[in-house]
Chains A and B, each alone.
Chain A
Amino acid sequence: MYETMSEIERKYDGEWVFMTHCQKGEHHQIIGGVVAAHSKDKSLILDLWGKGHESKVFFRYVGSLPEGTSLLL
């Protein structure tokens, strides 16, 4: 079932998501797709993303960094 990115962010907060049949908005962002898998384990998601797919696919972490965490890269 197609879901918007906002819906996906709400539903799978704190997880990695793998999406197929993705759509892009006019400013080149992924605006939605079908969540084919979701997990707190990134390696499972990455393995799925790495396989061949006929539709546009995408994966990312949805959610914020854990509280109290800051990034300096």
Chain B
Amino acid sequence: MELLNFSRISGLLYVTIELWSPIENNFREMFIMLDTGASITTISRMILLRLGYSAGGKITTITTGSGQETVAVYSIPKVKIGLTELTDVEVYAHDFPEESYVDGVLGMNILENFNFAVNLDENIIKLERRSAYA
């Protein structure tokens, strides 16, 4: 079990995760919104480009609150949540409105690796790796 601190901005929860950057051959921290309403973790195209990921792969259609959109699908070789390193994580590349001040949402494809509990008094998420996903 480990603890992950989060920030609350306008009521929403943001955590810091680490994404593998092929350009740097190292991890880069990213501030990302926790979203249990997102099936798949989604990151802005600008971020993925700067980390060294290029388009040209799989495309899929997503359904959002405002309709359907086509997005590129990437496989991120390594993603770190706290001390846990996940491999070959699927993410969608999708830009968020400027007015949202958001660059990505941490979705259930990553979160489902854990049992997690949010403590709003302490700004802490307790994460416990699920045995089926270890």
Q: Which residues of A contact B (CB under 8 A)?
A: 22, 24-30, 42, 46, 49-50, 52, 56-61, 63-66, 69-73
Contacts and interface: CB of A to CB of B under 8 A. Distances in A.
B82 A28 contact: yes
Contacts of B35: 73
- Of the candidates B14, B29, B31, the one having the most CB atoms from chain A within 10 angstroms of its own CB is B29
Interface stretch (B3-11, B70-78, B85-93, B110-118): B3-11
A73 B7 contact: no
Interface residues of B, number: 36
Contact of B65 (A27, A64, A72): A72
Given A52-B24, A65-B10, A73-B96, 16 more contacts: A24-B29, A27-B4, A27-B124, A28-B15, A28-B16, A28-B82, A29-B16, A42-B98, A50-B50, A56-B29, A57-B29, A58-B16, A61-B9, A63-B9, A71-B100, A73-B102
Contacts, number: 71
B55 interface: no
Nearest to B44: A46
B121 interface: no
Interface of B is mostly: mixed
B43 interface: no
Nearest to B35: A73
Contacts of A61: 9, 101
Interface of B: 3-7, 9-10, 12, 14-16, 23-24, 28-29, 31, 33, 35, 37-38, 46-47, 49-50, 64-65, 82-83, 96, 98-102, 105, 124
B10 A71 contact: yes
